[in-house]
Amino acid sequence: MSLTKRFQRSDEPIWWSLFSAGGVCVAMLIPALIVLLVFGPSLGLLSPDTLSYQRISTLLYHPLGLMFIGAVIILPLFHAMHRIHHGLHDLQWAHSALAKWLCYGSALLLSFLALSLWLLGR
């Protein structure tokens, strides 16, 4: 092997950044939300009215609701698909360009779906 080997920059920083951002959401934000939304009312931290359908849907379709979609759906999707993509390689089941397209493609597709539903629901 020669020392002058040419190296091609990997596109992994893109996927890894989405994976890392998704990881933070999955590890910190989502558990906090679950505790708050599931146990909040019974612990008296939230009044049941706060979670009424009307209020929640107004909140969700507010422009800031987009951040919620990003943090709770889109980034975790990329997080999960990145893990699956690398898991398929580790188990030596699939490590082709096709597997990569399918993994990140499905994350993209589902993200697109979530965004479309959000836009349609406004």
Report residue 22 CA to chain centroid gap: 5
Q: How far apart are CA 75 and CA 100, in angstroms?
A: 17
Q: Which of 46, 51, 80, 86 touches another protein by CB under 8 A?
A: 86
Q: Which of 34, 62, 90, 96 touches another protein by CB under 8 A?
A: 90
Quick check: 97 binds another protein (CB under 8 A)?
Answer: no
Please spell the DSSP secondary structure of 31-47, one letter per residue: HHHHIIIIITTTTTSS-
Stretch that binds another protein, among 49-57, 61-69, 88-96, 106-114 (CB under 8 A): 88-96
Closest distance to another protein from the beta carbon of 19 (Å): 10
Three-state SS at 14? helix
